[in-house]
Structure 1
């Protein structure tokens, strides 16, 4: 101890030289420590606030509310799928109900065409998997099957329609194409309101003769054609 006091007594002048630097160092250290303490305190408050928000959310979303939200979301997705399904069916019915379209694009009514056949198969699958309503109870597996079926149905129709518009009547012989042309001409007469009733009925019979064995009009197309021709032709 005497040696320590002796050393301090001999080198007291060091305090004059380095005292300011030492004091500044301690001051900076204290400032840094205070800043770190404030930062840690702020982080703790943020963590506590986040935990409180999570706990509040968990309390507000009870199991029943979560189940209801999930069911609503599933119903929305199912409703959009069913709308797509209906849209494709409406596009198909445009051909089924319009004799002019069937004559112009005959492969759309020809089940022997591979593209049309693929579309009809996809339609059957999608129709079979379609739920009763958007709010029907459908599990994840059934939903996925229906979603894929609607997608296949839509794609298959697009392919069949594009192919039908591309080939038109090229799959028919020259004589058959002439029959289709005459049928199209007679159709224009049959739906012409300026023509007489007798002219429209004659044109209607000629359409049936030209298409016989060439194209098959669906019952719906037949009914629609009759309505457009006269509205009172007998079956």
Structure 2
């Protein structure tokens, strides 16, 4: 006579072994996926930090962080799905049939045996805690990286502003000095600016040379270089103001009426020497008069003689070709 056990569907032992292997391996796979996700998050944050330092797009780093978060969450979900699949496998039907048979032991004994043989599964809590910690760490590192990027951009804007201010000061000094050099009549109002024996003039020449040597073509990355250039530019402007004011105050340094008349004749002759409408012979004679009258009284810079002689030669060539 067939018993209920003989009528129940029989399953091959291989299926039970297979599902048992899945049940044994699933937690490790879930842990591995989660750990790999956390590693990916950390690596993505490191990439994001490096990209921010170099000013590069953060797209790949954000993708790595997103993938890491997905794997961190997918780990416990994967383990839960596999666990439920195992619970509903072929072995589960046999367990259900066995559970449907009348108990052969007292309920108290069964409860005690289940309590003793079934330990508490802390895996879900561990995964939840680990995921929360990973999310908190990610949020902290992203916030810190964003703060670093903002601080760096602010520092760069400050650096650009300081460099622009220093460059403007240097340009003003350079333009003022160039205007003096280009004006041949400035020797009648500020001749001391050509006198290197004058301490203020010598101090300006040195300060301006230092500022020129420290002036970068573009804004440097180092704040020390910007500050060094700014300090040199301020020093050059201060030295220029001092030398220019002193030169204007002293002027030609002549006091007698005879010297004053000679200075007026020198200026008149210089006007003729620089007059493009005069003939070459007239300009050459006027330049010789300037040299003769200035001897022993004032010093005419070589650049003025050079400029006048070049203009005279140009005028002479034009006259010869016509």
Normalised by the length of structure 1, the TM-score is 0.61
1:139 matched to 2:223? The reply is yes
Q: Distance in 1 between matches of 2:222 and 2:290?
A: 47
Q: How far off its partner does 1:70 sit?
A: 2.5
Q: 1:179: how far off?
A: 4.4
Of 287, 290, 300, the residue aligned with 1:207 is 290
Q: 1:83, 1:233 → 2: CA distance?
A: 42
Answer whether contact 1:98 1:225 (CA < 8 A) is retained: no
1:70 paired residue number? 155
Q: Contact conserved, 1:122 with 1:156, CA < 8 A, in 2? A: yes
Of 67, 87, 95, 2:180 maps to: 95
Task: Provide the C-alpha distance between the structure 2 equivalents of 1:119 and 1:231, rounded to a whole number of angstroms.
Answer: 35
Q: Describe how 1:217-228 pairs up with structure 2 within 5 A.
A: 217-219=301-303, 221-226=304-309
Does the CA contact (< 8 Å) of 1:226 and 1:232 recur in 2?
no
Q: Distance in 2 between matches of 1:222 and 1:85?
A: 29
Counterpart-to-counterpart distance in 2, 1:145 and 1:175: 50
Instruction: Give the TM-score taking structure 2 as reference length.
Output: 0.46
Query: Aligned ranges for residues 119-130 of structure 1 at < 5 Å?
Result: 119-130=204-215
- Residue 71 of structure 1 and its aligned partner are, at CA, apart by 2.3
Counterpart secondary structure, 1:157:
helix
Q: Distance in 2 between matches of 1:115 and 1:233?
A: 41
Work out the CA distance in 1 between the residues paired with 2:209 and 2:256. Answer: 31
C-alpha change, 1:135 and 1:190, in structure 2 (3 Å) is same
Q: Answer 1 or 2: higher relative contact order, Cα 8 Å, separation at least 6.
A: 1
Q: What is the deviation of 1:145?
A: 2.6
Once the two structures are superposed, what CA deviation does each residue of 1:80-115 show, in whole Å capped at 9, x if it has no partner?
A: 211211211111122222221123321111111222
Listed as ranges, the gaps of 5+ residues in structure 1 are 1-54
**Paired residue total:** 176
Gaps in structure 2 of 5+ consecutive residues: 1-139, 318-322
